Structure 1
């Protein structure tokens, strides 16, 4: 049965991508995917709950160390009928890689939902989980913090919305620090951002290629384009917090049809790295297996 993903790694040429777990959520599937009959989709639920992994991706490209998203943070929250959320292990897993917060050069956000910004500062960004702690600044204080301008502008006026970033714990520490990137921008050798709006207006995917050209295969860190392997086989499954569902579906189709690409899906259970196998319009998820994996060599 589905279990939260554990630490794993792939290599694209000389660039490594490591999944660093932070926690997981056990969700009411009817809240996340309204109207879906899960009895016709066996194997995706655990005791009637949809498990989502929470974590970050560490990219080591040349001398650059990049974190993609900052997971869910130090939380333990039970919202009856909705979800149980647990997090807090990101820095420990980063230390297992021999790194500290000060070793990170760049943080890039796919988007600013609360389960992707949890380690922005020292306070868990959950509006429904007040704390007496005060933010002490950015967790990754030495790093550049990158996102799309559309994402920043959207949440700057909607921070209190359900699922959005906390104004005090996330937006305030980032104000004046955040740098904006556009689709196609390079943030390290072989690492580019790609606009993938739909789930949120400024959502980004992160694409990793071999800068030497020795490997023709790439990796795509998809953020919230995909939440469950069920969406690989049925891209029409709409996630409840997609701001523009039709646009999100079109982006999902585009990603599923990318040739020679390893998908890095941080919310998936068990294996976050995999390929999409396709026959016509039918798609299936094929995990790459246990790490480390050298891709395209």
Structure 2
């Protein structure tokens, strides 16, 4: 029997974490300068384990995917990580849905572990050659992102490690991608918010009760957070932050939202939780079911 996927509800809206895979990362490469001894329990056998996946929002007849996981791959990136994906469509099927049932895809940003199922070709990092994609995985869906994100990765960031592959991601989206601005609604009760810093067009996705009956919200954070250590010590810098200082300001701002549940898709032990102030610091308090990394 398959364990229930981690999920939370806001009024009649459901937010479900769809697992795709996981990565075992070199912590000193990914978060340089962190004193890991001061953060017991974060590392597993000396490694930083991050989950990869997507958030499914089921709101008033709409099926929205926030980010598209890593894709179907099992790759070692020397000095950085061993990453493995490929479960997203299986996780979606467990919710009784197929790719054709998705009406909207919204990208928080275009790092490779958030775009893996864009097309029928996985964007394998450091591949000597990438096959040409023949179509979008979610062909019936709108594909949404911030314009600044698209412009960066098709311009000055095109050669940057960890960004979207031209054949697997950029070409399939050309002529299809739609740009959205901070504050726009993409489904009933679902809006996007500018959280640029980690990347130039990074978006957060805010889910509220469209009826207005409830006051709480769920904030799908993309790469604002990668691991709870960034909550314990918000001065942390993640290796792929394009603007580390701006990313820090965004993290600290999100931690000051007491009525907000944070959906942190990379957190290995629980993707839904709240940030709680403890003395002069903050801590992560998980809620809901626990996802499995493997």
Answer yes or no: is the 8 Å Cα contact 1:273–1:287 preserved in 2.
Answer: yes
Q: CA separation in 2, counterparts of 1:111 and 1:6?
A: 27
Gaps of 5+ in 1: 292-297
**Counterparts of 2:4 and 2:121 in 1: how far apart (Å)?**
24
On the 8 A contact 1:106/1:145 being kept in 2, the answer is: yes
The count of residues paired between Structure 1 and Structure 2 equals: 287
- 1:92-103 residue pairs with structure 2 within 5 A? 92-103=90-101
Question: What is the TM-score of this pair, normalised by structure 2?
Answer: 0.95
Extract structure 1 runs of 4+ deviating beyond 3 A.
130-134
Q: Does 1:224 align with 2:223?
A: yes
Deviation at 1:135, TM superposition (A): 1.0
What CA distance in whole angstroms lies between the structure 1 residues aligned with 2:89 and 2:59?
20
Equivalent residues of 1:77, 1:129 under 8 A apart: no
Displacement of 1:133 after TM fit?
4.2
Partner of 1:85: 83
TM-score, normalising length from structure 1?
0.94
Aligned CA distance change for structure 1 residues 60 and 36 (closer, same or farther; 3 Å): same
Tell me what 2:23 maps to.
25
Q: What secondary structure, in the 3-state scheme, does the structure 2 residue paired with 1:150 have?
A: helix
CA distance 1:216–1:132, shift in 2 (3 Å): closer
From the superposition, tell whether residues 80 and 206 of structure 1 become closer, same or farther in structure 2 (CA, over 3 Å): same
Q: What are the superposed Cα offsets for residues 48-106 of structure 1, whole Å, 9 maximum, x if unpaired?
A: 11001000000001011000000100010012332100000000000000000000000
Is this contact kept in 2: 1:75–1:87, CA < 8 A? yes
Q: 2:74 aligns with which of 73, 76, 79?
A: 76
Note the aligned Cα RMSD (angstroms): 1.5
1:240 equivalent in alignment to 2:235: no
2:196 matched residue in structure 1: 197
The answer to whether the 8 Å contact 2:258/2:274 transfers is no
Mean Cα deviation higher: 147-156 or 74-83: 74-83
Cα 1:287/1:247, change in 2 over 3 Å: same
